[in-house]
Amino acid sequence: MNIFQKPTAAVVLEDGHVFFGHSVGIEGEVAGELCFNTGMTGYQEIFTDPSYFGQIMVMASVHIGNYGVRFEESESDHIRINGLVCRNFTVKGSRPGKDTELYEFFANSRTVAVSGVDTRALVQHLRDHGAKNAILTTDLTNLKEVKSRAQAIPSMAGMELSSKVTCREAYSLGDEKATYRVAVLDLGVKKNILRCLVERDVFVRVFPMNVSTEEFFSWACDGYLISNGPGDPAAMPQTTAFVQQIIQTGKPVFGICLGHQIIALSQGLETYKMHHGHRGINHPVINTATKKGEITSQNHGFAVKNQSFGPSASLLLTHSHLNDGTVAGLRLSDCPVFSVQYHPEAAPGPHDSRYLFDEFINLLNQHKKDEYNC
């Protein structure tokens, strides 16, 4: 924040810390879990990712808004974050071909954004003390009262949020005469996951999470994708039981992020809330079979407990996070089911993990030849 300018907005943390900044123009107050993303590019994809529903995002990257917005690059139809905290917010982006400014994008969805914040100090605080609930406000008249309201925000742990972002009705994408047909269980799916399937000759049908078993299983398909999404996976017992049924069909299943966590829960593993999560586009992962490293895009605040994997387990650890050893991927030993905690569809990248979509297609092919029995 420019020390000569008076603050016009504040980030008030549940632990009492206050970070001042400037409102970028949308007045109001929002509450949510405050977490940080270290990606140096891709702000539009982050803000429109349904997995961030309910969260206030602190961007470690210093320039936000500087290349505007192109609608075709959104991960869903509008902004999903509850609020934005950044260092510099550029009102007029300089990218040729932009459809609109980030400012307009925020104004249209009435999402509060605060700039001029010492984001380096704030990120360090969250990294040291963990993700915190917070209130973003442009009304600085009674911050004491805002602090006590910040303490009353419910924890992300135990919160089911997919029902807020899943589609209302089933819809299809791609060519109906494509070689493969995949049913997607939409827990908050990112558009690029669907694009990655369609460009591999897949006809996709996306179903809302509360779809009836009759409707879901009566759509003839070669395999299933369980999508990413917001909230705590442990708060989704019905979806977990449904995924168990999906696995029992014996068809190939691919889980991404929340989908990965739900698959793990359906097999008796547990999940837990992480200290401050993984959110960025340079997270190193090792593929335990090939021993190759992958640089991955990640966005999760929960993870699968590492304790139940072993050589004789029916679940095999396929990928491990190289920074902290957390579970990054798994597969079932006796069914064509695999999942990753990270984002192989990542846009703007990195693209190291795109091969996972090809592996899914290989499984679909194999399944077309001989049926598995789970």
Q: State the catalytic residues.
A: 257, 343, 345
Any known ligand binding at 261? yes
Q: In the bound complex, what is the minimum distance in angstroms from residue 190's beta carbon to ligand GLN?
A: 8
* Interface with ligand GLN in residues 181-200 (CB under 6 A): none
Stretch that binds ligand GLN, among 91-99, 137-145, 163-171, 297-305 (CB under 6 A): 297-305
CA distance linking residue 136 with residue 14, whole number of Å: 11
Q: Which is nearer to ligand GLN, 31 or 265 (CB)?
A: 265
Any known ligand binding at 55? no
Any known ligand binding at 301? yes
Q: In the bound complex, what is the minimum distance in angstroms from residue 257's beta carbon to ligand GLN?
A: 3
Contact by Cβ (8 Å): 354, 196? yes
The closest residue (CB) to ligand GLN is: 257
Binding mask 47-66 for ligand GLN (x = CB under 6 A): ----x---------------
Lookup: tokens for 272:
């837990």
Q: In the bound complex, what is the minimum distance in angstroms from residue 226's beta carbon to ligand GLN?
A: 10
Around 111, how many Cα atoms within 13 Å sit in the side-chain half-sphere?
A: 24
φ, ψ at 225 (rounded to 5°): -125, 130
Q: In the bound complex, what is the minimum distance in angstroms from residue 220's beta carbon to ligand GLN?
A: 27
Binding mask 267-286 for ligand GLN (x = CB under 6 A): --------------------
Stretch that binds ligand GLN, among 7-15, 295-303, 324-332, 361-369 (CB under 6 A): 295-303
From residue 81, alpha-carbon distances to 34, 54, 104, 254, 282 in Å are 10, 6, 15, 26, 21
Number of residues forming the site for ligand GLN (CB under 6 A): 11
Query: Partners of 63 in the beta sheet?
Result: 88
Residue among 20, 47, 203, 302 that touches ligand GLN (CB under 6 A): 302
Contact by Cβ (8 Å): 206, 184? yes
Residue among 223, 255, 301, 344 that touches ligand GLN (CB under 6 A): 301
Query: Partners of 317 in the beta sheet?
Result: 330
* Interface with ligand GLN in residues 219-258 (CB under 6 A): 228-231, 257-258
CA distance linking residue 253 with residue 215, whole number of Å: 18
Q: In the bound complex, what is the minimum distance in angstroms from residue 118's beta carbon to ligand GLN?
A: 26
Q: Which is nearer to ligand GLN, 10 or 46 (CB)?
A: 46
Q: Is 34 in the site for ligand GLN (CB under 6 A)?
A: no
3-state SS of 47-115 is HCCHHHCCEEEEECCCEECCCCECHHHCCCCCCCCCEEECCEECCCCCCCCCCECHHHHHHHCCCEEEE
Q: In the bound complex, what is the minimum distance in angstroms from residue 337's beta carbon to ligand GLN?
A: 17
Any known ligand binding at 163? no
Residues placed in the known binding site for L-glutamine:
51, 229, 231, 258, 261, 299, 301-302
Residues placed in the known binding site:
51, 229, 231, 258, 261, 299, 301-302
Positions in the binding site for ligand GLN (CB under 6 A): 51, 228-231, 257-258, 299-302
